[in-house]
């Protein structure tokens, strides 16, 4: 059964990225008002006692096992708990391939995850999702990209390098809906859109 927010450990440490990850992990497993609780604590996913009782033990494990600012915590087996033997640090793209909600899509005799089709076809994941919902698989996979409407596939030149907008968001750890609004609705420069913290954007509303 889930706990109230007061039941989640909070010892007043500064909110470093690693500490935020730790608190979010706690919340998913033990705070029944978390929107993701049903997929974690609600189905029996818990945190090992060592990590649960002491953030410093979790921090020590993280720093010794590949933690860096561009990686997220992932359970190797999504049906098992948060435990040193079942956890690792991976990119957001790699984590997409390990979600329980992933569905394999069959096309031309091949069965792959949508993220894998996205990589093979060179079409952003979000674009494929929208296309399949609107057109079905065959047209979604074969219709030429229209950058006027498929914003996430637009090529953006930044710091002398060209990538699709969705690729920049993934590379820089940015939220695509926020960046899309900044560039295409607010007409911000690429530099400003990519470097302005999200909290500053909210403050300007």
Query: Do residues 36 and 87 both lie within one domain?
Result: yes
What pLDDT shows up at residue 29?
94
Q: What confidence category does residue 1 fall into, taking pLDDT thresholds of 50, 70 and 90? A: very low
Same domain, 84 and 22: yes
- Which band of pLDDT confidence, cut at 50, 70 and 90, is reported for residue 101? low
Mean pLDDT of 130-158: 81
pLDDT confidence of residue 201: 40
> Mean per-residue pLDDT for 37-57?
91
Q: Report how far apart the first and last C-alpha atoms of the chain are (Å, whole number).
A: 39
Question: Based on the domain organization, do 15 and 61 belong to the same domain?
Answer: yes
pTM here is 0.46
Q: Which residue has the higher pLDDT, 158 or 114?
A: 158
- Per the structure, the complete domain to which residue 20 belongs is given by 5-92
Same domain as 40, residue 23: yes
Task: Let me know whether 25 and 69 are in one domain.
Answer: yes
- Number of structural domains the chain divides into: 3
- Which residues lie closer than 8 Å to 107 by C-beta, 6 or more apart? 117, 137, 138, 141
State the Rg of the chain over Cα. Answer: 20
Q: Are residues 22 and 58 in the same domain?
A: yes
The torsion angle over the Cα atoms of residues 67, 68, 73 and 77, rounded to 10 degrees, is: -60
Any bridge partners for residue 163, and if so which?
Answer: 156
What gap in Å lies between CA 141 and CA 128, rounded to an integer? 7
Confidence of residue 4 (pLDDT cuts 50, 70, 90): very low
57 falls in which pLDDT band (50, 70, 90)?
very high
Q: φ and ψ at 131, to 5 degrees?
A: -65, -45
Choose the most confident range, by mean pLDDT, from 41-45, 67-71, 82-86: 82-86
Output the average pLDDT for the chain: 81
CA distance 114 to 124: 10
> For 172, how many CA atoms within 13 A lie in the half-sphere containing its CB?
21
Greater confidence (149 vs 13) lies with 149
Do 86 and 29 lie in one domain? The reply is yes
Q: Is residue 59 part of a domain?
A: yes
Same domain? For 189 and 133 the reply is no
In sequence order, which ranges of 54-175 are alpha helices (DSSP H)? 55-64, 92-96, 114-121, 125-135, 137-142, 165-172
Residue 98 lies in a domain: no
* 157 and 115, same domain (yes or no): no
Is residue 24 in a domain? Answer: yes
Residue with tokens 């792959």: 112
Higher pLDDT, 58 or 101: 58
**Is residue 62 included in any domain, yes or no?**
yes
How far is the CA of 113 from the CAs of 67, 88, 91, 147, in angstroms?
26, 21, 16, 24
């Amino acid at each position: 059964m889930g706990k109230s927010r007061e039941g989640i450990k909070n010892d007043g440490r500064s909110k470093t990225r690693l500490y935020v990850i730790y608190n979010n992990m706690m919340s998913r497993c033990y705070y029944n008002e978390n929107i993701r609780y049903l997929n974690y604590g609600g189905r029996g996913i818990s945190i090992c006692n060592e990590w649960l009782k002491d953030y410093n033990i979790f921090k020590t494990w993280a720093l010794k096992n590949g933690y860096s600012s561009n990686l997220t915590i992932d359970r190797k087996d999504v049906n098992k708990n948060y435990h040193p033997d079942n956890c690792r640090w991976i990119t957001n793209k790699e984590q997409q391939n390990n979600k329980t909600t992933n569905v394999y899509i069959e096309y031309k005799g091949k069965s792959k995850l949508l993220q894998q089709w996205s990589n093979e076809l060179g079409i952003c994941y979000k674009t494929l999702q929208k296309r399949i919902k609107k057109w079905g698989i065959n047209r979604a996979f074969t219709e030429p990209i229209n950058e006027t409407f498929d914003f996430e596939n637009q090529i953006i030149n930044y710091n002398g390098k060209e990538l699709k907008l969705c690729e920049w968001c993934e590379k820089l750890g940015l939220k695509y809906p926020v960046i899309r609004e900044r560039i295409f609705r607010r007409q911000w420069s690429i530099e400003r859109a990519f470097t302005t913290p999200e909290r500053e954007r909210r403050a300007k509303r």
